[in-house]
Amino acid sequence: MKLLKDKIIQEGKVLSENVLKVDSFLNHQIDPVLMQAIGEEFANRYKDAGITKVLTIETSGIAPSMFAALTFGVPVVFAKKSKSLTLSDNLYTSKVHSFTKGVTNDISISKDFLESDDVVLIIDDFLANGQAVLGLLDILEQANARTAGVGIVIEKGFQTGGSIIRERGIRVDSLANIKSLANGKVEFFEESSSK
Ligand code: 5GP
């Protein structure tokens, strides 16, 4: 997606060979115009998939998910990273090791918001080693819901997550797929999506 790649080149900061900071439009300050374009792109790619819910994980997956869900006319459900006092025991849970924070979180979703007849599009901001997406897939399995695919804003294709998930036969669409962050420079793969 050219708009997104241009924004990454203009505003992304390469923190190391493995980490890209995009706090000015995705992870801290949020660019709503770009998020709308991203959400609509996901919705367009999955328009015939019969999506009934968009599933993400707090916090940065929520903004692009909202715009995709608005286009589909379906709800967004986000997995919570900490147990809130208002969450009951009626939960699906999984463990997710955070790539950027180096900690393992329990993620949870109320059983009230996933049904076995749901057809779900997972959306997240980054795909690195795939832990966040694998946690969400685990929860969808527990709920017996169907996974239509995974929409990723920025995939780091030089890390393992994309191949782990595609090898499971799951469709992954990334709107920007980074080949390398070496020498402080962002280099993209030519083809940034796979079906
Ligand atoms: P994974 O679970 O695929 O290993 O990592 C994905 C999660 O880690 C994303 O939800 C994102 O929050 C965070 N993440 C991974 N790599 C990066 C990165 O290079 N930059 C930023 N800002 N977040 C990242």
Decide whether any atom of ligand 1 lies within 6 Å of the 36 Cβ: no
What does the pLDDT look like over 117-127, one tens digit per residue?
Answer: 999 999 999 99
What does the pLDDT look like over 16-26, one tens digit per residue?
Answer: 999 999 999 99
User: For ligand 1, what atom is nearest to the CA of residue 57?
Assistant: 10
Centre of ligand 1 to C-alpha 122, Å, is: 15
High-pLDDT (> 90) share of the chain, %:
89
Decide whether any atom of ligand 1 lies within 6 Å of the 130 Cβ: yes
Residue owning the nearest CA to atom 12 of ligand 1 = 126
Instruction: Give the full edge-to-edge strand order of the sheet including 172-180.
Output: 76-79, 53-57, 119-127, 146-156, 172-180, 187-188
What does the pLDDT look like over 29-61, one tens digit per residue?
Answer: 999 999 999 999 999 999 999 999 999 999 999
Q: What are 78's two structure tokens?
A: 């986000």
User: For ligand 1, what atom is nearest to the CA of residue 131?
Assistant: 2
**pLDDT beyond 70 at 193:** no
Decide whether any atom of ligand 1 lies within 6 Å of the 97 Cβ: no
Q: Could you tell me the domains of the chain?
A: 2-83+90-190 (3.40.50.2020)
Decide whether any atom of ligand 1 lies within 6 Å of the 128 Cβ: yes
Higher-confidence position of 44 and 100: 44
pTM of the entire predicted model: 0.95
Ligand 1, pocket-test mutation among 99, 164, 174, 180, most atoms within 8 A of CB: 99
What is d(CA 172, CA 120) in angstroms, rounded to the nearest whole number? Answer: 13
What does the pLDDT look like over 130-158, one tens digit per residue?
Answer: 999 999 999 999 999 999 999 999 999 99
Q: Under a CB-based contact definition with an 8 Å cutoff, are residues 150 and 133 in contact?
A: yes
| Crossing angle of the two packed helices 62-72 and 32-45, in degrees rounded to 10 | 50
Decide whether any atom of ligand 1 lies within 6 Å of the 20 Cβ: yes
**pLDDT beyond 90 at 4:** yes
Side-chain half-sphere exposure of 70, counting CA atoms within 13 A? 13
Centre of ligand 1 to C-alpha 49, Å, is: 26
What does the pLDDT look like over 68-91, one tens digit per residue?
Answer: 999 999 999 999 997 665 656 799
Residue 194's pLDDT is 44
**φ and ψ at 184, to 5 degrees?**
70, 15
**pLDDT beyond 90 at 192:** no
Helix, strand, coil % in the chain, rounded to nearest 5: 30, 30, 40
